[in-house]
Amino acid sequence: MSDRGVGAGLSLFLHLLVLGMVLFTWTSEPELRRPPKIPPHVMAVVTDQTERAAAPTRPEPKQEKPAPKPQPKPEPQPEPKPKPEPEPKPKPEPKPEPKPEPKPKPEPKPKPEPKPKPEPKPEPKKPEPKPKADAKPKSEPLPKFEQPDMEELLAQERLEMARQGKKQDQENPGSGDPDSKVEQETASYIDAISSAVAQRWRIPGNYRNRNDIRTRVRIRMVPGGDVVNVDVVKSSGYPDFDDSVVKGVQLASPLPVPKGDGFEAFRTLVLEFEPGDAK
């Protein structure tokens, strides 16, 4: 309960108490009708409580906090005045440099007198060239001859025998000489070899129509006709023509040769070529 309710209840109780005592005194004897003496502290309490009940309690006013005093604004300081710049001192005018005194020109040296040139010595007279004799026309190079070896001679002899046997067979057909048959077969193989070389031979253009040059070569073969070596045994006197014959033999390898025992006669073969043999 609040303070106000407690005060009102206590005040009502005291009023009832006082009223009851008054009524009690009215009904008793006159001497007893005197109002009883109320102790002063009870009256003070009752009075105080009555006043308290009669006067409503006011709430104590809240103390308002004083508003903070506005701080004074700082007065603006005056801007500093710019310092006056010192006036520039005038630059001293440069003193003119003294002009250098002109140097005295050197006196020209006297030119030395030219020395007298020695008189030229008379040149000795050259002997007059003797008139040359009429130049002889250059003769064609002579063919180089090499000493044939025994193997070459035998090969050349077989070649000649084969050619002679072939010629005899053509003159006397039907002769039954066995030697002539062997020579005929040998000659046919030689013709086949010459024909094979002629097909691969490329003669230089300036020798194609000549019939006065020949080159003799020695050909060494192995069974089957493969050429292992070609030598010039008799030159035509023209190296490029000789080289063309050697290359023709090498390009024609393998050459057509007989098989078996008949090959031995062709192991080393000497043949002669001239421009008319080429095809």
For the purposes of burial, counting CB atoms within 10 Å of the CB of 185, is it exposed (0-12), middle (13-18) or buried (19 or more)?
middle
Q: Over 80: is that where the pLDDT of 243 sits? A: yes
Q: Residue 220 — φ and ψ, nearest 5°? A: -110, 130
Return the pLDDT at 227.
Answer: 96
Out of 134-143, 170-179, 197-206, 223-232, least confident range: 134-143
Tell me if the bond preceding 239 is cis, omega within 30° of 0: no
Q: Which residue has the higher pLDDT, 217 or 142?
A: 217
Q: Over 50: is that where the pLDDT of 246 sits? A: yes
Structure confidence by residue, pLDDT tens digits, 84-141: 666 666 676 766 666 666 666 666 665 666 665 656 565 655 555 554 444 444 444 4
Q: Confidence band (pLDDT; 50, 70, 90) for 3? A: low
Q: Over 50: is that where the pLDDT of 146 sits? A: no
Structure confidence by residue, pLDDT tens digits, 210-234: 889 999 999 999 999 999 999 999 9
Return the pLDDT at 179.
Answer: 57
Q: Confidence band (pLDDT; 50, 70, 90) for 68? A: low
Q: Over 70: is that where the pLDDT of 254 sits? A: yes
Q: Confidence band (pLDDT; 50, 70, 90) for 241? A: very high
Q: How far apart are CA 131 and CA 172, in angstroms?
A: 67
Return the pLDDT at 28.
Answer: 52
Contact call for residues 252 and 196 (beta carbons, < 8 A)? yes
Query: CA separation (Å) from 177 to 145, 162, 163, 258?
Result: 37, 14, 16, 20
State mean pLDDT over 159-175: 55
pTM of the shown model = 0.41
Computed over every residue of the chain, the mean pLDDT equals 71
Q: Confidence band (pLDDT; 50, 70, 90) for 22? A: confident
Return the pLDDT at 37.
Answer: 61
Q: Which residue has the higher pLDDT, 39 or 5?
A: 5
Q: Confidence band (pLDDT; 50, 70, 90) for 173? A: low
Residue type, 97: E
State mean pLDDT over 197-207: 91
Name 220's bridge partners.
229, 268
Q: Confidence band (pLDDT; 50, 70, 90) for 252? A: very high
